[in-house]
Amino acid sequence: MTCRAILQYPDPRLRRRAQTVVHFDAALQGLVDDLFETLYASRGIGLAAPQIDVPLQVVAIDISASASAPQVFINPLILARSRIGTVEESCLSLPGVSGLVKRPTQLRVRAQDRNGVAFERDLDGLLAVCLGHEIDHLAGRLFIDALSFFQRLRLRRRLAHTGVARAQVFSAGAAPASAGSGTIAGRG
């Protein structure tokens, strides 16, 4: 297992759409292991493969307080969503940034495990919100895309000293919010 570097906003690779996983081989097993190693080292609760510069639809989540309940979702698809709530989110790719977004707190999902076995599950609460956040990463979206105009304005001012251009904060904001990294009111 290797702890990999997490891409940081505004890296354009965070905006790439992830590809469907078709080979459930040793390389994929290594990727899943690396995702968890990186997730635990960063003290997050969720991490998507695109955040470590691997454009594949692989998500690693562990929302347990003791980091002892790893869950993998490969090629996840949201079948149903309900109970929209306002939640505070943050992201390992945007350290120190958080904001309130609206996101479903109940999901029905279809995915595959690390061996390629398909499953469907009903998720609620933090797990549903976290997976929704990570699925956004698979589509090249970040939680800041779902922030209100005024939240993005505050974010732009905050990031101004880091050299992040105004267009980078606002152009992404036009992207629609949906139900995919990082931390969501969790360890990181």
**Catalytic sites, residue numbers:** 134
CB contact at 8 A, 85 and 40: no
What are the C-alpha distances in Å from 52 to residues 77, 80, 175? 21, 28, 22
Rounded CA-CA distance 60/125 in Å is 17
Q: List the one residue out of 66, 67, 59, 104 whose CA is nearest residue 86.
A: 104
Nearest CA to 168 out of 150, 148, 142 is that of 142
